[in-house]
Chain A
Amino acid sequence: MNIRSVEKSTWIFIIFSLLLFIVPFIVTGRSMQFIIIQIFIFAIFAMSYDILLGYTGIISFGHVMFFGIGAYSTAIIMNNMDATVLSFFVAILVAVIIASIVSFIVGALTLRLKSHFYAMLTLALAGLFLVAAEKWRSLTGGNDGFTFRLPEILRESHNLYMLCLIALILFFFGLRRFTKSPFGRVLMAIRENEARTESLGYKVLHYKVIASVVAGVVASIAGVLYALSLRFVNTGVFATDLTIDVLLMTIIGGVGTLVGPILGAGLVEFAHHWLSGLSNVHWIFERWIILYGTVYVLVVIFFPLGIVGTIQSKFTNRTVKGLRDNRKTVGK
């Protein structure tokens, strides 16, 4: 590749990712490192959601099921096999395989169901996984979940940080290239006008299914890392709250920007941390979910493009009528 043909923004992202490698040497507190790790994990999760929502225009309320699949696959395999690095790889493999099968089926359902019907269906499917995790006690330990052992090397907070950071960087640049490929361009065309994309000679269903599988697999990897960071799993990884969180991250950061969801993940996670820390100042901070709701409403009304989207539109002066309309349906 010719080094001059690399976009300027790519250099900025590379510099930022290098800076993030230094952070654990400055921020040595375990709890702070843990928060940053969580941000990385949710950033990956939110990016995968952005592929669906921001690029392809598929509204899913059940994206958490892939996250949960990743988390449970890891937990169950690490619990039943020796705590070695090898079994960790097996866990990743299993998570990816299950997630791709499920996301393939879910994606294929877009053939029959449009927009909000599809959204409802995904919500129901995620609920199904939640119930399965609750009831299949022999395997999942039911509601209470279970802890599991990890190989020595993955227990070290520093190593985990590096692992999550590298995963984030790989997925960010990978997905960025994916969205800028001819394939990704067609996804954006589908978001804009599905019928027209079809009459240009593209088989829309294929694109939707592939987008769904890519998003599902990436989300499952986020789930794997999540289980790893907690060394514990319970049915919470299938909870709808997580989908809402990730929706909020994507929308605050900026739909269809890929950097936005990362920024959104950082903001939401830090806000969560600080606001709960303020609980002895005023009781309302304990109920931070109320504040979330308020922020969410305000963002949808005043910054429908999110942080990154708003900045971008300032620079490129692009209008956003259609996107705005899309956002309204999401906001409901």
Chain B
Amino acid sequence: MEAILETKDLSIAFGGHVAVDSVSVQISEKKFTSIIGPNGAGKTTLFNLLSGQLSPTKGSVYFKGQDITKLRTTERTRIGIGRSFQITNVFPNLTVLENVRLAVQSQAKVRYQMIAHFLHYKRFEQKAHELLERVYLNDKANSLAVNLAHGEKRKLEIAMLLALETELLLLDEPTAGMSLEEVPAIIEVIKEIKRQGDRTIVLIEHKMDMIMDMSDEVLVLFHGELIAQGTPEEIVENETVQSAYLGGSYHEQLT
């Protein structure tokens, strides 16, 4: 199996606190990998290291065999690592359509064109509409992003990520803070991407039931350390995971 993303001994410390501790992991290409772990386990921090928001104190990250530890966020996006954010991160005073259009424009590499009118690129707008259709947000295309409900912002976030058409999708709790009725729609979108089979998806999730039937592989983080890796079935049976995470005091966080 080809590994599209690989970390070697990846660590980051904030002061004395080691948030991610020597994580060495391989993410297989075109597979669905989930990262689980209790709050404060370092899941989002690991994502930030992978997408370049943070740089590690130790260790390195490889994308398709290339060392990308030193690359900035912009460059990582350009070579094919896209991510969504757990804390909604959109352009508040632009319309929903414009939010997605900017992502489409970046994907089409129209970056420094300053003479032509932006509507000259009709296909960007069309594609943005298509993407909004996919996440069931097209009826809100002309509202400002700041006026969206929380769940709708999460959908917008996913549409922007899809627009980038990156090979690797890093999804940071895409359903966090959504109302229960909205969750199935988003899961459907993610399953749809998985079904197409041409992308590698890495997902952080709290809801155990959701990832169990979708994931090809599950990583378990605990106190910044990778304590287990395997298929969902193996993870459920793993004793370390059971004692550290699935059982005992952390149980309530899984539901």
Which residues of A pack against B, CB within 8 Å? 177-178, 180-186, 188-189, 192-193, 195-204, 206, 210, 318-323
CB distance from B236 to the nearest CB of A (A): 34
CA distance in complex: A201, B81 (Å): 10
Which residues of B pack against A, CB within 8 Å? 51, 53, 72-74, 77-78, 83, 85, 89-94, 98, 101-103, 105-107, 110-119, 121, 144, 146-147, 160, 164
Instruction: Please determine whether B115 and A177 come into contact, CB atoms closer than 8 angstroms.
Output: yes
Instruction: Please determine whether B92 and A321 come into contact, CB atoms closer than 8 angstroms.
Output: yes
Instruction: Please determine whether B106 and A200 come into contact, CB atoms closer than 8 angstroms.
Output: yes
Given contacts A188-B94, A200-B77, contact A181 B114 (CB under 8 A): yes
Across the interface, B102 reaches (CB within 8 A) one of A185, A203, A320, namely A185
Instruction: Please determine whether A189 and B121 come into contact, CB atoms closer than 8 angstroms.
Output: no
10 A-B pairs with C-beta separation under 8 A: A180-B119, A185-B98, A186-B105, A188-B94, A193-B91, A199-B83, A210-B112, A319-B146, A321-B92, A323-B93
Instruction: Please determine whether A186 and B92 come into contact, CB atoms closer than 8 angstroms.
Output: no
Given contacts A192-B92, A322-B146, A323-B93, contact A201 B106 (CB under 8 A): yes
Instruction: Please determine whether A182 and B116 come into contact, CB atoms closer than 8 angstroms.
Output: yes
CA distance in complex: A206, B53 (Å): 19
Instruction: For A195, list chain B residues within 8 Å (CB).
Output: 53, 73, 89
Instruction: Please determine whether B110 and A182 come into contact, CB atoms closer than 8 angstroms.
Output: yes
Apart from the given pairs A182-B121, A198-B72, A200-B103, 11 other A-B contacts in the complex at a CB distance below 8 Å:
A180-B117, A180-B119, A181-B118, A182-B105, A188-B94, A192-B92, A200-B106, A206-B112, A320-B93, A322-B92, A323-B93
Instruction: For B117, list chain A residues within 8 Å (CB).
Output: 177, 180-181
CA distance in complex: A174, B144 (Å): 27
Instruction: For A186, list chain B residues within 8 Å (CB).
Output: 102, 105, 111
CA distance in complex: A181, B117 (Å): 5
Instruction: Report the nearest A residue to B83, measured CB to CB.
Output: A199
Cβ-closest 4 pairs across A and B: A183-B114, A192-B91, A201-B77, A322-B92
